[in-house]
């Protein structure tokens, strides 16, 4: 076999390999979107009965499903705001100042990341039970904020790795106080890391099932609603809502990437 034929064979193998990888990644998403247009009305809803958009209309009649999605968005937004604020202050404070126990606190930040979710969920459930905090929206917000903070801190610390402290010193030498320097100098520099950490925290909150299961009480989130429906078969209206969420995610990614590309030009 000649070298030219070998290169052709390697190129063909690479194309096939890449196609299989993308097929493995996107086939489940394709199944969800396709099944949202399924005309079937009987369980387990997996038999194709023809094309229909009726489930997108019925989606807005399913108040329980819409309420669970509203709960998910509310909890995700509030926990993201709290985690981003706390994580930003923690990252900046640990970067600038030296104090006793700093290495211990730094090590403890990794525990919510590496610990199994079921262990963290049971721990939070025990904490809320011992402190007599009724499980519901409040406990969900607290739980989601807890596991989101480390991810925000890590993103901002990555941004701080190339940070030049001299610009802050120059700002204060010119008469700006610490607060004004933080908002006018430090915060804009850290903005990409803060934004990345916030998006990650928001994504993790929307996606969480296990920790939410232990801390939800009577408040149902969209992932928990989907998990409950698996027992009787996921109805196409859930697939329709998932497809709409997917479209919203794609639009968000396109907008953010367009902004990044325009800034790089």
Along the chain (265 residues), what's the average pLDDT of each consecutive run of 10 residues? Answer: 75 89 89 84 73 85 90 95 93 83 84 88 92 91 94 89 78 81 84 90 92 90 87 79 88 77 59
**Residue closest to 78 by CA, chosen among 142, 150, 152, 154:** 142
Domain spans of the chain, in order of start: 63-234
Answer yes or no: are the C-beta atoms of 83 and 149 closer than 8 Å: yes
Supply the DSSP string of 19-37, one letter for each residue: HHHHHHHHHHHHHHHHHTT
Six token digits for residue 194? 């803060």
Q: State the pLDDT at residue 56.
A: 87
Answer yes or no: are the C-beta atoms of 240 and 110 closer than 8 Å: no
In terms of phi and psi (left: phi > 0; alpha: psi -120 to 50; beta: otherwise), the region of 101 is left
Query: Tokens 């700006």 identify what position?
Result: 176
Answer yes or no: are the C-beta atoms of 115 and 211 closer than 8 Å: no
Give the Cα separation of 265 and 252 in Å (integer).
20
Burial degree of 56 (CB within 10 A; 0-12, 13-18, 19+): middle
Q: State the pLDDT at residue 262.
A: 63
Give the Cα separation of 133 and 102 in Å (integer).
30
Q: State the pLDDT at residue 260.
A: 57
What is the assigned CATH class of domain 63-234?
mainly alpha
Q: State the pLDDT at residue 20.
A: 92
Give the Cα separation of 183 and 251 in Å (integer).
30
């Amino acid at each position: 076999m000649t070298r030219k034929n070998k290169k052709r064979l390697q190129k063909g193998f690479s194309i096939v390999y890449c196609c299989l990888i993308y097929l493995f990644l996107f086939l489940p998403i394709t199944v969800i979107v396709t099944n949202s247009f399924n005309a079937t009305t009987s369980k387990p809803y997996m038999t194709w009965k023809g094309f229909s958009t009726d489930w997108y209309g019925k989606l807005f009649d399913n108040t329980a499903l819409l309420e669970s999605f509203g709960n998910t968005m509310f909890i995700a937004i509030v926990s993201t705001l709290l985690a981003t604020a706390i994580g930003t202050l923690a990252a900046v404070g640990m970067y600038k100042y030296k104090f006793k126990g700093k290495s211990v606190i730094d090590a403890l930040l990794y525990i919510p990341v590496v610990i199994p979710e079921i262990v963290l969920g049971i721990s939070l459930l025990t904490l809320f039970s011992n402190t007599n905090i009724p499980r519901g929206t409040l406990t969900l917000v607290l739980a989601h904020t807890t596991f989101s903070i480390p991810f925000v801190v890590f993103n901002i610390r990555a941004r701080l790795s190339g940070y030049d402290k001299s610009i802050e010193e120059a700002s204060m030498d010119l008469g700006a106080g610490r607060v004004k320097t933080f908002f006018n100098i430090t915060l804009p520099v850290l903005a990409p890391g803060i934004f990345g950490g916030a998006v990650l925290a928001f994504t993790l909150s929307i996606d969480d099932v296990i920790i939410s299961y232990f801390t939800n009480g009577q408040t149902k989130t969209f992932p928990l609603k989907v998990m409950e429906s698996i027992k009787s078969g996921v109805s196409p209206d859930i697939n329709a809502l998932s497809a709409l969420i997917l479209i919203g995610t794609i639009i968000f990614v396109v907008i953010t990437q367009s902004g990044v590309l325009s800034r790089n030009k």
